[in-house]
Structure 1
């Protein structure tokens, strides 16, 4: 049997040819010849283009009243990708297993539940103060790989992928007497002010981390 040795650098992605040797049946070299095993490491997994999940937060208008429930959810789709190792096709499967929500005011939520759209309140939170906040979802993915159409094998370790932040304005609504015959002047009292250092939301002094 002819054996070729190849050293694969998972970090740099380079292959080093260790040369060829011949092993004849009945010799120690033949008996000790290891089979070619293709595996996918966590580092290999992290280099693949796993897409971030779409984070959904708050009403579509981009604002909500202070102390109003903010609904958080995402679509937990499993992604399948393909690559090639040692000239052999390898399929990769990335499955979301947990979700970390950073609400931008110091409060965070970690859960294994992707949540549900309104009116469900499976994953929810409120803002206690007025201002702009960025809501960020970071998803943890587990992985599996299949070599040349073979059985699925687990990848040792997980990866984290952050979604694009969702900007949301928390508005403090105040009751006031108005003349019903006069239309609302949105320029005088805009529902959503321009984002600036003066309109950024403050941190919640009672911020906490919740695990659901």
Structure 2
């Protein structure tokens, strides 16, 4: 009986040693198949932390995803739901920053010069008309009075896709009298009646013709320009805008050939009397 027991013990020990020798080697991550994974014999963390922990609920940390910025760089969660970055997709946020600094010429970027007259080519002041008296004729040797209806006016529209208002203020007037002479005035002039003076009185915008003939009087108005947008006051724009006015054509003749509004016997001091 004791001999049989000893043989049984030796048989069990031999079986255990045999199974230890025949046991399979642990599989590496690259060789781990579905069956090996289910059996739990796949090795973990053998390739430096990039392997998947079978049975676990997450992967080891990697490089991360996009943070939602325009250039897609940086880390963040896989949804890409990071902050908005330097500006929204259509660049409007950036333009809101750049536009005011161009107004005052303080933009740090090269090429961001202040707004000039050339940037406002699509904006224009209201038309200006020239009026003369007497209407359509002049007496040689006597002043004819000219005046323009230019005034401060505004025009609205968009610049760089932003709404702005442009204000035009007449600053000077350049007259061409049609007889080769010119004049520059700081006013557009007024009628004799508005000035409270007699007809044929010399004014700051009158001209006297020395020869008979037909003359075309032309005028250009020079404007200073200001602009504003939401959140700003009026800001000066570099340069001066020049705008032509409608001219007038009139005949200069002698006094005795002109029909005056009153006969000489009723107005002995009138022209030609």
Relative to the length of structure 1, the TM-score reads 0.62
Instruction: Name the counterpart of 1:36.
Output: 98
Tell me by how many angstroms 1:160 deviates. Answer: 0.5
The CA deviation string for residues 67-108 of structure 1, in whole angstroms up to 9 with x for no partner, is 121112122311111111233210000110000110000111
Instruction: Name the counterpart of 1:54.
Output: 129
8 Å CA contact retained: 1:45, 1:159:
no
8 Å CA contact retained: 2:129, 2:150:
no
Q: Is 1:22 matched up with 2:96?
A: no
Choose which of 141, 149, 170 in structure 2 pairs with 1:67. Answer: 141
Q: Is 1:118 matched up with 2:192?
A: yes
Tell me by how many angstroms 1:23 deviates. Answer: 4.0
SS of 2:146 mapped into structure 1: strand
The CA deviation string for residues 15-66 of structure 1, in whole angstroms up to 9 with x for no partner, is xxxxxx9349xxxxxxxxx932244421123432323322122312x11211
Please give the alpha-carbon distance, in whole angstroms, between the structure 2 residues aligned to 1:47 and 1:132: 36
Q: Flag the 1:97–1:137 CA change in 2: closer, same or farther, 3 A.
A: same
Please give the alpha-carbon distance, in whole angstroms, between the structure 1 residues aligned to 2:70 and 2:186: 47
Instruction: Name the counterpart of 1:81.
Output: 155
Tell me by how many angstroms 1:174 deviates. Answer: 4.6
RMSD over aligned CA atoms reads 2.9
SS of 1:35 mapped into structure 2: helix
Q: Is 1:168 matched up with 2:168?
A: no
Please give the alpha-carbon distance, in whole angstroms, between the structure 1 residues aligned to 2:168 and 2:70: 34
Please give the alpha-carbon distance, in whole angstroms, between the structure 2 residues aligned to 1:107 and 1:171: 18
Please give the alpha-carbon distance, in whole angstroms, between the structure 2 residues aligned to 1:130 and 1:2: 78
Gaps of 5+ in 1: 5-20, 25-33, 176-212
Highest Rg: 1 or 2? 2
Count of residues in Structure 1 that have an aligned counterpart in Structure 2: 150
8 Å CA contact retained: 2:129, 2:247:
no
Choose which of 114, 120, 128 in structure 2 pairs with 1:45. Answer: 120
Instruction: Name the counterpart of 1:93.
Output: 167
